[in-house]
Amino acid sequence: MITDLSGKIAVVTGGGTGMGRELVRQLAAGGCDVAFCDLSPDTMAETAAMVAEESPGVRVLTHMADVSKEADLEAFRDAVVEGFDTDHIHLLFNNAGIAGGGSMFETERPAWERTFDVVWGGVYLGCRVFLPLVAAAPEGAVVNTSSVNGFYASVGPDRPHTAYSASKFAVKGFTEALITDLQVHAPQVSAHVVMPGHIGTKIVANSLRHATVEPTAEVAEFMIAVDQMFEEQAPMTASEAAAVILAGVLGGRWRILVGDDAHELDRRVRDNPDAAYDGDHLFHLI
């Protein structure tokens, strides 16, 4: 279990924007050397510049990688080992994600599977590739970002949400199972599952930018409008969310709910699970 950030090495996927960027900044502010990957060199450069200004005493490494591709993550791992001259890391944040793949009926299969491969596959492959480095440390933590959609598979009525929800359920279940696996094989390493509610990030815009299927002009215009609403009307900022996540990790909480809406939805589902998807009980996440 990690109780202090100073002098540690952290790896963050999806560090170019949103919660990933804020995790990188706050980890560095706490004294961590940080390596992070993303698909956009421009946003990675922006994050790195922020860290250089805010926390000049720490080392920062950036690497372009698609987390759904094991070879990309292996190259990222090798860059971390060489760039930081290390045989271990202390913290692994499998944070990268995209939205999409709402319907089994309406979504084209490549788009559905792209969402699943990034959101779930990025966590699975991130652990496959980096877990040996975490286990080699005297203390460590694996932090996997799920979602409230990892325990509640809807964003509201008439809005299918299958790929994202299925992938986030997989992340949650995998991380819970990882707790015992680590206790048996690397008891000095803790596992944490993060379940944010509505956080002000650019996940919609990023998903559109890296879509495998080119949307129509009408759909693209709608998505841009949704992205602006999603970020500006969120009840919690990405910076606030990152602070909650790090406090949870340092406090030893394996289950980290982020946002009042996450806590409220968790309570509702637990109080009456049989009615969770019935008409008036549906919870509107956005």
Residues classed as catalytic: 164
CA angle 125, 9, 116 (to 5 degrees): 20
Looking at this protein, which amino acid is placed at residue 148? V
Give me the residues paired with residue 143 across strands.
93, 192
Q: Which of 20, 124, 133 is nearest to 67 (CA)?
A: 124
Give me the residues paired with residue 38 across strands.
64
Q: What is the CA radius of gyration of the chain?
A: 18
Q: Which of 209, 100, 189 is nearest to 143 (CA)?
A: 189
Which region holds residue 141: left if phi is over 0, alpha if psi is between -120 and 50, else beta? Answer: beta
Cα Dmax for the chain: 56
Give me the residues paired with residue 63 across strands.
37
The phi and psi torsions of 9 (rounded to 5 degrees) equal -115, 125
